[in-house]
A and B are shown apart, each in its own frame.
Chain A
Amino acid sequence: MRVVIDGKVLEARKGETVLQLALRNNIQIPYLCYYPELTVSGSCRTCLVEIGLQKKDKIEMMPKLQIACGTEVADGMIVITNSDTIKKTRKAMIEFLLLNHPLDCPICDQAGECKLQDYAYTFEQNKSRFSEDKIIRGKKDVGERILLYSNRCVMCTRCIRFEKYISGNYGLTILKRGVYSELDIFFNRRIDHLLSMNLVDLCPVGAFVSKSFLFKQRAWFLKTVEAICPGCSKGCNIYLDYNNNIVYRIRPRFNEKINSHWMCDIGRLTYKWLYHRPRLTENKIRDRVVQAPEAMDTIANTLLKNKDKVCVIISPYQTIEELLMIKKLADYLSLKVMVLFKEDGKEIIFPKFTIPADRTPNRNGIKKIFSQKIEKIENLDGYDTVILFDYSPENIIKDEFRKIKEIIIFTPFNDNCLFENVSIRIAGTLCFEKEGSFINQNNKQQSFKPAVLTNINEYDILKGVYKRVSGHSEVY
């Protein structure tokens, strides 16, 4: 199917809309109410374009402007997006939207990534002809994790459609009529479900804001890195937004096969793991701070001395790369390997999104590397020494470990396993601080990059230990 947009001949797919075709080919058409995955609303009227249809041998222009988001492509269709009429229309629509908008960009979280702000600049809507009083609407606490500044709302109804079709919660509605219309929740029906923070991404303006990000950082200071959510085995693709080595926010990254445009609130707040417990930043033998080589020597000696009675306990929060190194070490010394993890949660099902019961990111990675032989910790009898990799954000160490003679622990958290038998403590990193990969529930391996730089490197220590134990000088 051939469609001509502004003189460019484009190959269109059947069933797609003019807007989708244009965006796919990098032709900019402004839009506010359109959102992929949601139904067409056609109410913002910013994507109006001129459309002509092939009628026998001539092209007949439609008498009215048509919405690009709601018009399906047809063979021989002509679309004009850069005429003077369209320019005037777009400018007018942005002017209308700004009439009763509070223009509180200086204190709005969305500033810098706001569609309305962008369009106001793009279409040079910098002077208002509106000299009347604005209509003022209130700020509302609509959920555990989100706030609604209904004053900034542009009535695009993306959030309402999300609540209908994606989360199935039907929590939002519009009250009143006309210019007094106001977005609100139904009486006492707060938006506390686990997809609530998607409304923040969805909102083209700053009407929905996240409580955890509110007033924390300006959008233009944030740098972004692509990563994988460590919150569960779904492996949602994410963006980590950080600045000055601090992660401020996690946003979903589109992946058609895994998470589409969404992610859950549990995953979105996983960046807090970095800050919610005291961190272990230095390697210690007993209470003495040691440098890496000394730590490697000590661990290697312990292992070689007593290798029949050593058990390795790994964590499903570790990356594939770390697990491979542990596997090498364990295979070389024929050590017993077990896994430390929490009991499964409950699967949470929304109409278009499922949060799996397994809330660890890499259990499939463990299964793949250690094949199925691996077992959960049940009985530690008969072992003198345990090398414990504990990366769980929750403190789940059990009392059974008290019986062990000596524990060598790799952990990011300082309050983890403070038993007297812990001899060596190696500082670990969380997945936001290192490169690596996880294998998700559908056996898809996905890699991620660090947002926070640290000088902690437990992988090098593992490697050093293996070198010392095996005598190999090069290890990959």
Chain B
Amino acid sequence: MTEKIIMKYEDKKDLYTLSGYESTGGYDALKKAIDMKKDEIVEEVKRSTLRGRGGAGFATGLKWSFVPKDSGRPVYLCCNADESEPGTFKDKWIIWNNPHLLIEGILISSYALSVKHAFIYIRGEFREGSEILNKAIEEAQNKNYLGKNILGRNIDIEITVYRGAGAYVCGEETGLLESLEGKRGWPRIRPPFPATKGLYQSPTIINNVETLANIPYIILNGAVRFASIGTPNNGGTKLFCVSGRVNRPGVYELPLGTNLREIIENYAAGVKDGKKIKAVIPGGSSTPVLKFDEIDIPMDFDSLIKAGSALGSGGIIVLDEDTSMVRSLYNLSRFYAHESCGQCTPCREGTIWIMKILRRIYKGDGKPEDLDLLLDICSNIKFKTVCPFGDAAVIPVESFITKFRTEFEEAIKKTIIIPRQ
């Protein structure tokens, strides 16, 4: 059994309370960190090869080093808890079960980056989660872990929990900042990047919940030990959220580089009713789908990129042999058409067009030229939008159609019947 970082004490019932968390050695990392130099912490995180767990997999330490030291403006830290990628529920687990770990991670990061005010942007639907966080913050404040003069030292850090209003696009970092500023959640054009001009035009670091939850372990146990878990340049563990047609869906913390088939068969206890796997979406709906013969693959950022997919947020969605790919894709495209913010042309018009064509195919009114049209629309959206939403919206369409083209062609010719549930 390999070492766990975030879910180590998952069986402990009172982990979400301060006393429960402290009994597992909680806030020791913070005590250690405030004795360290700020640059030392950043260096430690760099050495740990920790990569952003939100989806893009950008090196966290490198991101931190982009913050200008002499901008004359306050630095902000935003924790991105707007977890809305279909198939992903790892941040939810952390917030509900181990909120103090996140808070400790935020506090250490804030100290390292000289942040006085950190924000947790939590998705609107996580009302309960925001209450849990607020309660945890209050507990920590009472014990002087955060607030003014933390642990008797001259350090002030404040954390504010901000609830979004339920838009997927606000999980995109600049959309998040706009929303946090109280505006419409429309992503900004870059440059300038948030690290130089983010929240209120000040340098801002935006990190995912899981990324920040890894920080206390790195401080406490050292970068080398963290990097030794996982594969080279993909240090640490990852929370994999397995869903779909499996016997035991749920969150599993495993080292990066764990084999995908192993995750499905050993941890999620295989496919329901002994069916065969048809396809697996490896990292949330915005990553290219893998066919049944492509799933013998180590789950880390680099291996999946090499295989033409991406680790994304680690939301593994398993589709069995009975699943209709046409229906699944129509379902996904509906999500993207609904969530497109409407700011830029290709995404606003393209996502709904894709959805309408797929709906037609699904309902049996497809035309033979539709598939090529869909791929052409995808190429017209890809890399031409303000934010990565457009790319995310076309990735499943492109991968589903190229990898399962015959199924789509049969659906257009009406030689197969698509189950309607």
Contacts and interface: CB of A to CB of B under 8 A. Distances in A.
Interface stretch (A40-48, A267-275, A278-286, A388-396): A40-48
Interface in A132-155: 132-133, 135, 154-155
B351 A155 contact: no
Given A45-B344, A174-B184, A179 B386 contact: no
Contact of A96 (B189, B339, B343, B346): B346
B383 A65 contact: yes
A180 B340 CA distance: 10
A65 B380 CA distance: 12
Given A43-B386, A100-B349, A179 B337 contact: yes
Contacts of B384: 45, 48, 64-65, 89, 92-93
B360 A132 contact: yes
B345 interface: yes
Nearest to B337: A178
Dominant secondary structure at the B interface: helix
11 contacts: A89-B380, A92-B384, A93-B346, A97-B345, A100-B349, A129-B373, A132-B357, A135-B352, A155-B345, A178-B351, A179-B351
Interface in A434-473: none
Q: Which of under 10, 10 to 19, 20 to 34, or 35 or more describes the interface residues of A?
A: 35 or more
Given A45-B385, A67-B189, A92 B380 contact: yes
Contacts of A154: 345
Contacts of B352: 135, 178-179
Contact of B353 (A42, A46, A132, A174): A132
B357 A174 contact: no
Interface string A69-107: 010000000000000000011001101110110000000
Contacts of B341: 177-178
Given A44-B344, A88-B380, 14 more contacts: A42-B386, A43-B344, A63-B383, A64-B383, A176-B342, A177-B167, A178-B337, A178-B339, A178-B340, A178-B341, A178-B342, A179-B340, A180-B342, A181-B342
Nearest to A42: B189
Given A178-B340, A178-B342, A96 B349 contact: yes
A177 B337 CA distance: 10
Contacts of B342: 155, 174, 176-181
Contacts of A44: 344-345
A48 B381 CA distance: 12
B338 interface: yes
B55 interface: no
A132 B345 contact: no
A42 B352 CA distance: 21
Given A42-B189, A178-B340, A92 B346 contact: yes
Contacts of B350: 96
Contacts of A221: none
Nearest to A95: B380
A135 B353 CA distance: 11
A155 B186 CA distance: 13
A40 B343 CA distance: 13
Contacts of A40: 189
A213 interface: no
Interface in A41-68: 41-46, 48, 63-65, 67
A350 interface: no
A40 B191 CA distance: 12
B53 interface: no
A181 B189 contact: no
B329 to A, nearest CB: 17
A220 B213 CA distance: 65
B365 to A, nearest CB: 10
Looking at B184, B340, B344, which has the most chain A CB atoms within 10 Å of its CB?
B344
B346 A45 contact: yes
A207 B38 CA distance: 55
Interface string B270-309: 0000000000000000000000000000000000000000
B31 interface: no
A395 B373 CA distance: 66
Contacts of A155: 342-343, 345, 348
B116 interface: no
Given A67-B189, A178-B340, A96 B345 contact: yes
A135 B349 CA distance: 10
A177 B341 CA distance: 5
A133 B360 CA distance: 11
Interface string B175-215: 00000000010000100000000000000000000000000
A419 interface: no
A173 B186 CA distance: 13
Interface of B: 167, 184, 189, 337-346, 348-353, 356-357, 360, 373, 380, 383-386
B345 A46 contact: yes
A181 B346 CA distance: 14
Q: 6 closest A-B pairs (Cβ-Cβ)?
A: A92-B380, A181-B342, A96-B349, A132-B356, A178-B340, A42-B189
Nearest to A44: B345
A93 B390 CA distance: 13
Contacts of A186: none
Interface string A320-334: 000000000000000
Looking at B167, B337, B342, B350, which has the most chain A CB atoms within 10 Å of its CB?
B342
Interface in A415-447: none
A271 to B, nearest CB: 36
Contacts of A173: 184
Given A43-B345, A129-B373, A177-B340, A99 B189 contact: no
A97 B343 CA distance: 12
Contacts of A89: 380, 384
B141 to A, nearest CB: 37
Given A132-B360, A174-B184, A178-B337, A96 B386 contact: no
A215 interface: no
A130 interface: yes
Contacts of B337: 178-179
A96 B339 CA distance: 18
Contacts of A97: 345, 349
B386 A130 contact: no
Given A43-B344, A179-B349, A96 B380 contact: yes
Contacts of B351: 178-179
A178 B338 contact: yes
Contacts of A67: 189
Contacts of B348: 96, 155, 178-179, 181
Contacts of A174: 184, 342
Given A65-B383, A89-B384, A99 B349 contact: yes
Interface string A154-181: 1100000000000000000110111111
Nearest to A154: B345
B383 to A, nearest CB: 5
B66 to A, nearest CB: 19
A193 to B, nearest CB: 23
A180 B337 CA distance: 10
A174 B341 CA distance: 11
Contacts of A45: 344-346, 384-386
A218 to B, nearest CB: 28
Contacts of B383: 63-65
Contacts of A43: 343-345, 386
A93 B345 contact: yes
Contacts of B360: 132
Contacts of B349: 96-97, 99-100, 179
Contacts of A100: 349
A64 B341 CA distance: 21
A180 B189 CA distance: 22
A99 B353 contact: yes
Interface string A17-48: 00000000000000000000000111111101
Nearest to B350: A96
Contacts of A180: 342
Nearest to B369: A129
